[in-house]
C-alpha cells in the first residue's frame, strides 16, 4: 500500500509540474507577442510602437474580396504565422483553386512600425515575388491601424493593391482598434479639482454637523447648524471689518457751529427815560 501511495503521489507531482510549466509557457507567450517580430531596422522607438499593438497579438484577421471572377481571402496576424504559414504576417489565399494556393504578402521577420498619436502603420516586407508585375520584386503589405475607442478590434479591410508601377508595389489594409488610442487626459484643471474637493468636504461638514446637533445634542432651530456660535461671531467680525474698511465717513464729527444758550445771557435792566419828557 505504501508503494502504491508513493507512486500515485509521484505521478500527481509530475502531472502538477507539467501543468505549471505549460501555464508558465503560455503566460510568457501571451505577454511577448510583439517580441516575435523582427524589425527591418532595430530601434527603440519602433519597438515601443509595436508594444502598443500587444492586445492584437495571437489573433487572425481575415477578409474576403471579389474582383470579377477572382476571389481572394487575406489573413493577417500580428507577429505570428498568418494562416499557419511559418514566418508569414499576411497571406493571400486564392479561393478559386482547389489547392487554395497561399501567397505570402509580407513576413513579420522584416517588420517596420511607424506610429502617431492615434494610429500605427505596420509594414511587412519580403513577401513572395511578383510573377510579372513590379519588376518581379518582393511583395509588401501595409496595415494601417487607426484609433476607434468604441471597439476593441474592428474588421480587416483591403484598401488597394498597387502593383502598376516599376518599384515599391504594396498591398494596403485598414484596421480599427482602441489599442492605438492615446490615454484620456483629465479635462479638469488643478484649481477645479481643489474646488470640487473643498465643496465635498463642506457638504460633509454641514450634513454631518446638522445630524449630530439634531440627533445627538437635541438642538432645535438655528442651533442645529454646526458650530453656530462660532459662525455667528465670525459673521459679526466680518461685518465690523467691512464697516471699518469700506466706510469713509467719520461717525464722531465735531459740529461746525455751536449755539449759545439763552439762559446764560444776563438781562439788562430796562432804561426808563420818562424823566426826559417835558413836564
Q: What does the H/E/C string look like for 232-252?
A: HHHHHHHHHHHHHHHCCCCCC
Mean per-residue pLDDT over the chain, rounded: 79
Range of lowest pLDDT (37-41, 167-171, 184-188, 194-198): 184-188
pLDDT classification of 261: cutoffs 50, 70, 90: low
Residue 11 near residue 81 (C-beta atoms within 8 A)? no
Express each pLDDT in 99-135 by its tens digit: 678 899 999 999 999 999 999 999 999 999 998 888 8
Residue 74 has pLDDT above 80, yes or no: yes
Range of lowest pLDDT (13-22, 105-114, 161-170, 209-218): 13-22
* Average pLDDT score over residue span 227-233: 81
More confident residue, 207 or 251: 207
| Confidence (pLDDT) at 5 | 44
| Residues sharing a CB contact under 8 Å with residue 228, sequence separation 6 or more, in sequence order | 222
| Confidence (pLDDT) at 30 | 43
Residue 264 has pLDDT above 80, yes or no: no
pLDDT classification of 263: cutoffs 50, 70, 90: low
Q: Which strands make up the sheet holding 88-94, listed edge to edge?
A: 60-67, 70-77, 88-94, 102-115, 119-125, 141-147, 170-177, 157-162
pLDDT classification of 212: cutoffs 50, 70, 90: confident
DSSP 127-160: -PBPSSSGGGPBP-EEEEEEE-TT-SB---EEEE
Residue 222 burial by CB count (10 A; 0-12/13-18/19+): exposed, middle or buried?
A: exposed
Q: Which helix (H) or strand (E) segment is 211 a member of? A: helix 190-211
Residue 29 has pLDDT above 50, yes or no: no
| Confidence (pLDDT) at 32 | 65
Coil vs helix vs strand at 262? helix
Amino acid at each position: 500500500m505504501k508503494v502504491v501511495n508513493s507512486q500515485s503521489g509521484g505521478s500527481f507531482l509530475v502531472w502538477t509540474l507539467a501543468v505549471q510549466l505549460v501555464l508558465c509557457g503560455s503566460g510568457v507567450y501571451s505577454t511577448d507577442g510583439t517580441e516575435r517580430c523582427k524589425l527591418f531596422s532595430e530601434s527603440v522607438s519602433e519597438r515601443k510602437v509595436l508594444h502598443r499593438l500587444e492586445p492584437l497579438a495571437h489573433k487572425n484577421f481575415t477578409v474576403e474580396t471579389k474582383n470579377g471572377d477572382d476571389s481572394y481571402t487575406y489573413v493577417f496576424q500580428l507577429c505570428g504565422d498568418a494562416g499557419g504559414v511559418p514566418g508569414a504576417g499576411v497571406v493571400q489565399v486564392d479561393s478559386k483553386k482547389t489547392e487554395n494556393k497561399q501567397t505570402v504578402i509580407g513576413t513579420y521577420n522584416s517588420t517596420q512600425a511607424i506610429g502617431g498619436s492615434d494610429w500605427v502603420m505596420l509594414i511587412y516586407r519580403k513577401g513572395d515575388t511578383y510573377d510579372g508585375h513590379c519588376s518581379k520584386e518582393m511583395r509588401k503589405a501595409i496595415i494601417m491601424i487607426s484609433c476607434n475607442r468604441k471597439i476593441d478590434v474592428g474588421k480587416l479591410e483591403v484598401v488597394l493593391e498597387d502593383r502598376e508601377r516599376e518599384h515599391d508595389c504594396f498591398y494596403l489594409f485598414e484596421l480599427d482598434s482602441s489599442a492605438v488610442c492615446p490615454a484620456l487626459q483629465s479635462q479638469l484643471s488643478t484649481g477645479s479639482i481643489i474646488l470640487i474637493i473643498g465643496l465635498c468636504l463642506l457638504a460633509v461638514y454641514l450634513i454631518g454637523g446638522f445630524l449630530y446637533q439634531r440627533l445627538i445634542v437635541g438642538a432645535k432651530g438655528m442651533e442645529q447648524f454646526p458650530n453656530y456660535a462660532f459662525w455667528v461671531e465670525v459673521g459679526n467680525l466680518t461685518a465690523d471689518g467691512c464697516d471699518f474698511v469700506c466706510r469713509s465717513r467719520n461717525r464722531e464729527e465735531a459740529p461746525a457751529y455751536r449755539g449759545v444758550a439763552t439762559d446764560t445771557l444776563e438781562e439788562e435792566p430796562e432804561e426808563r427815560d420818562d424823566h426826559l419828557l417835558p413836564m
